[in-house]
Structure 1
Amino acid sequence: MQFLSTLINGLSLGSIYAVIALGYTMVYGIARMLNFAHGDIIMVGAYICFFMMGLFGLPPLLAVLISIVGCTLLGIVIERLAYKPLRNAPSLDVLITAIGVSYFLENGALLLFGSNPKVFKSVVPFGPLQIGSLTIKSTALVSIVVCAIVAVALTLFTQRGKMGKAMRAVSEDKGAAQLMGINVNKTISLTFAIGSGLAAVAGVLLCSSYPTLYYMTGSMPGIKAFIAAVIGGIGSIPGAFLGGLILGVIEMFARTYVSTKFTDAIVFGVLIIVLLVRPAGLLGKPVNEKV
């Protein structure tokens, strides 16, 4: 029974990683940049939801929606102010800027909300599910279902939607897409908006499952979600989904059957092994560059 409980908890944690990783992979797949501030947008989304429920007494669903809207707008602002001016800059400049934005958000949250952790009230209104002697947390069920819905919705959007097809065109060749009449800047801004909205969802799910919120809440989950995206094949939506689930299950089994002290070492070890065996990730496609 412990094995099954650990597996479910692993899938729940992996679902949260997958939602974060989907945001990473959307931005990388279209804009070809690593937005390392993504993890901190998770924290911002959780804080917005926390204050909407705590200070204003809003229902959880409405608080979550406001959090998504707030993070979506934040993502657009960050892209316009920090990344758009560097559209044609070397990748190292963009990477350093992303790290700077990350520290800006973290220290801004530290100044505004202090360093003391806050207890986050779960947005899930119902209690755990009891199946025989197995107890399944309601947050675990919601995380898994939400992750599956997000992954399917994103896949359908990118495959069949007009803007989704524009995103795929931009990811293939920005210059050719622009010649075909696609607004590249608008497409990239939309990508950041979607990714940041997903970060808000992930932040709410993360803090509902592990009810502690402080200015560094999104830091380590953001890094692990990036690892999940790389394992699955960064730039691939199914890859991000698969990588997140795999990483969550591995981490939870490592905590339960090995030691919490070695959990992070095992996670990074898995990343190294995957990169040695399949450098492009499990579902990623090798990119052949012309010389």
Structure 2
Amino acid sequence: MRLSLNQWTTRSWTVAEAVDGCVRHGVEAIGLWRQDVAAYGLDKTIALIDESGLSVSSLCRGGFFTGPDWEADNRAAIDEAAALSADCLVLVVGGLPGVTPGGPLGGFSRDLADARRRGADALAVLAPYARDKGVRLALEPLHPMYCADRAVLSTLKQALDLAEPHDPAVVGVVVDTFHVWWDPEVLDQIARAGERIASYQVCDFLHPVPSDILLARGMMGDGVIDFAPLTEAVRAAGYRGDVEVEIFNADLWAAAPDSVMSLMVDRFAGLIAG
């Protein structure tokens, strides 16, 4: 298991700065975000990654199947993941139709079952295209507090059920400690996932939760998660990919990125790799 920097952990860095930071701190992989790649330029990013020797552990993100125009955007995301040789394209399936992250409630649907069916329908459309492009789709269940506006998949079991009709090489799942640590079934579901684990993402769950729940992630060791059983379960399931540190945290974003990188490397060595 190698350490990977998810780009938003050091959000103030551009793609070029994040790649340079990884090289300087001995981090061998990076998780990229589509909007940052677009800002830097896809072709420039490909050349930069090739020159650096880094691998791309993930591209974030596709999904949001309950919103408008999802198909064209997801096909574009698959094309970008293929061009970057990313290990997977992370999919956040979307919340209730008409409910937008951070937006006020207007006209929207409360039909949760229908929202989940849309995810299955979207995968049926996208999986053949991803297969042809050599891209692995990775369904990410999010903590239930994000169900309304970001992801109607709240457990690893739900994500595996959605992935099950598809080839594991084409549709896998993300195990993100922040989102799954609370689930009493999570260790059994990690064992069930086996070869479907496409990404292992780590960060801590802070207490108390900040007013902006999107920023409730912390550096490993700063919150309430016991990482050892989760990491051991992922290893026992056969996962040998990169371990991506993905943190949305206002204090870390305001800190010097190099200090965040040093802390990340140390905490990974002490709490994950060990």
| TM-score between the two structures when normalised by the length of structure 1 | 0.27
More helix by share: 1
Bigger Rg, structure 1 or 2: 1
More strand by share: 2
Higher relative contact order (CA 8 A, sep 6+): 1
